[in-house]
């Protein structure tokens, strides 16, 4: 009697697993590939314990979400570059209907307005070492952006404090703004905190950013933009306002980590227009300060922050929002100065933010641009009052020719031909004696016949 019962249980279990597999296949119809880098074992600076944990937890989450995950912990310089190259080849082989995702946990730096991911074996002594030893974020994004893919997602828990003492006085805090709309469409990037700010490694098993992401991303049918708004609010609450994640999107299609009972399929996501400060004032006017604060934190825009500070001047959250607004404006001004890259653009930044942590970098880049302009101008300037040397053929006077000396031709002793000569007048050869100075080319001719003669390039033969 027990065999039929066991048989029924086996078939029911097999049927359930089959249904789950079919549901997962329907939910992840596109190809999904991911690269997870967790940098903990830094050699020249203290280790980051939570970065390795973040990587392991994200590998599990993304695997459950249908990604073919490449795990790459504690990468040195050459290993990081090779791993990125191998991942790009994997993305290219997956076809155009591919979602490529990169998660990075570790140290990151901005040098001269560029963001860099830091390998574990880096030990820089000066700023110039970072571009040689680290991996530029734009290189990673451009490498994947050049491939035919459905979308590219970058999640960077890399805004921790600068651990290198040699660079603390010259580099800016946190990471610089990355605008995905300036590059290839179909990209989404998330930072663990605001541009120009520093993220916390966390006191728990994972960082505050990864902890929130692991929780929010599991909700089915949640669009990625809404997911990261919730991540922003959760991290802000967990750190008492000290850390606020930030993202930029140029996606043209929907993405969900996990689909629900109803698969939404491949829908096209139309970009929503950003609301103005006036529109935000109307939306926030009737709300409680805490509710309004959560809304503007979720949106994380200059317009939302401006509206909040104008409406809730007496709120305990006002000072915090004002600080966020000031730093965001500063980072936008810095982005403009670096993108313009002229002495005038850095002048404008320094005029408004002379005491910024980015001021030293601004002055250095300003001097570099000026030196480059001076070198270019010097190369274009031609001499206007230069005495020509005596060897110039176009200005050196021609030497006075010496008198021509008559040379009689040698007469043969015997003549085999008895025919009388055709010319009655004997031929006369004229030989020129010209003294030529070094470096001067003088044309001359020797005439033959009765009227030969020529000099200075105008000589010719005589007439017969």
How do the domains of the chain map onto residue ranges?
24-249, 277-372, 425-464
- How far from the centroid of its chain's Cα atoms is residue 2's Cα? 67
Are the CB atoms for 199 and 192 separated by under 8 Å? yes
Does 317 score more than 80 pLDDT?
yes
What pLDDT, on a 0 to 100 scale, did the predictor assign at position 185? 87
Helices (H), 301-459: 302-311, 318-340, 343-352, 359-380
Dump pLDDT digits (tens) for 266-315.
555 555 678 999 999 999 999 999 999 999 999 999 999 999 999 999 99
What pLDDT, on a 0 to 100 scale, did the predictor assign at position 439? 46
Dump pLDDT digits (tens) for 393-430.
444 555 555 555 555 555 555 555 555 555 555 554 44
Q: What is the DSSP letter of 77?
A: H
> What is the C-alpha separation between 119 and 28, in angstroms, rounded?
32
CATH numeric code, 24-249: 3.40.50.1460
One-letter-per-residue 3-state SS of 261-282 = CCCCCCCECCCCCCCCHHHHHH
């Amino acid at each position: 009697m027990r065999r039929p019962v066991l048989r029924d249980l086996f078939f029911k279990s097999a049927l359930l697993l089959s249904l789950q597999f079919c549901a997962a296949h329907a939910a992840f119809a596109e190809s999904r590939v991911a690269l997870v880098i967790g940098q903990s074992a830094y050699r020249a600076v203290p280790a980051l314990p939570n970065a390795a944990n973040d990587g392991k937890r994200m590998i599990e989450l993304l695997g459950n979400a249908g990604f073919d995950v490449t795990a790459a912990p504690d990468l040195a310089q050459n290993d990081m570059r090779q791993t990125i190259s191998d991942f790009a080849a994997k993305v290219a082989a997956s076809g155009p209907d591919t979602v490529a995702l990169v998660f990075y946990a570790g140290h990151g730096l901005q040098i001269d307005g560029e963001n860099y991911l830091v390998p574990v074996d880096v030990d820089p002594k000066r700023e110039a070492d970072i571009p040689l030893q680290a991996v530029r974020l734009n290189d990673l994004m451009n490498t994947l952006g050049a491939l035919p893919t459905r979308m590219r997602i970058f999640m960077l828990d890399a805004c921790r404090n600068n651990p290198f003492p040699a660079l603390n006085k010259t580099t800016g805090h946190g990471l610089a703004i990355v605008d995905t709309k300036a590059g290839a469409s179909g990209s989404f990037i998330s930072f663990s905190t605001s541009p120009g700010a520093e993220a916390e490694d966390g006191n728990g098993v994972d960082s505050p950013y990864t902890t929130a992401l692991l929780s929010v991303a599991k909700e089915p049918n949640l669009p990625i933009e809404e997911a990261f708004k919730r991540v922003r609010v959760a991290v802000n609450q967990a750190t008492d306002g000290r850390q606020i994640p930030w993202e930029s999107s140029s996606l043209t299609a929907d993405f969900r980590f996990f689909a629900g009972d109803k698969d939404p399929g491949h829908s096209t996501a139309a970009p929503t227009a950003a609301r103005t400060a006036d529109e935000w004032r109307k939306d926030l006017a009737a709300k409680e300060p805490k509710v309004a604060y959560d809304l503007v934190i979720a949106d994380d825009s200059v317009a939302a922050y401006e509206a909040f500070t104008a409406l809730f001047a007496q709120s305990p959250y006002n000072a915090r929002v004002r600080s966020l607004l000031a730093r965001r404006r500063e980072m936008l001004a810095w982005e403009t100065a670096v993108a313009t890259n002229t002495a005038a653009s850095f002048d404008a930044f320094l005029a408004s933010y002379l005491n910024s942590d980015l001021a030293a970098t601004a002055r250095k880049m300003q001097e570099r641009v000026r030196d480059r302009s001076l070198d270019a101008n010097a190369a274009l300037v031609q001499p206007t009052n230069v005495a020509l040397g005596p060897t110039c053929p176009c200005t050196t006077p021609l030497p006075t020719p010496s008198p021509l000396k008559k040379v009689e031709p040698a007469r043969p002793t015997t003549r085999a031909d008895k025919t009388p000569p055709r010319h009655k007048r004997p031929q006369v050869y004229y030989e020129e004696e010209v003294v030529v100075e070094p470096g001067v080319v003088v044309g001359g001719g020797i005439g033959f016949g009765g009227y030969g003669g020529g000099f200075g390039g105008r000589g010719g033969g005589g007439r017969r």
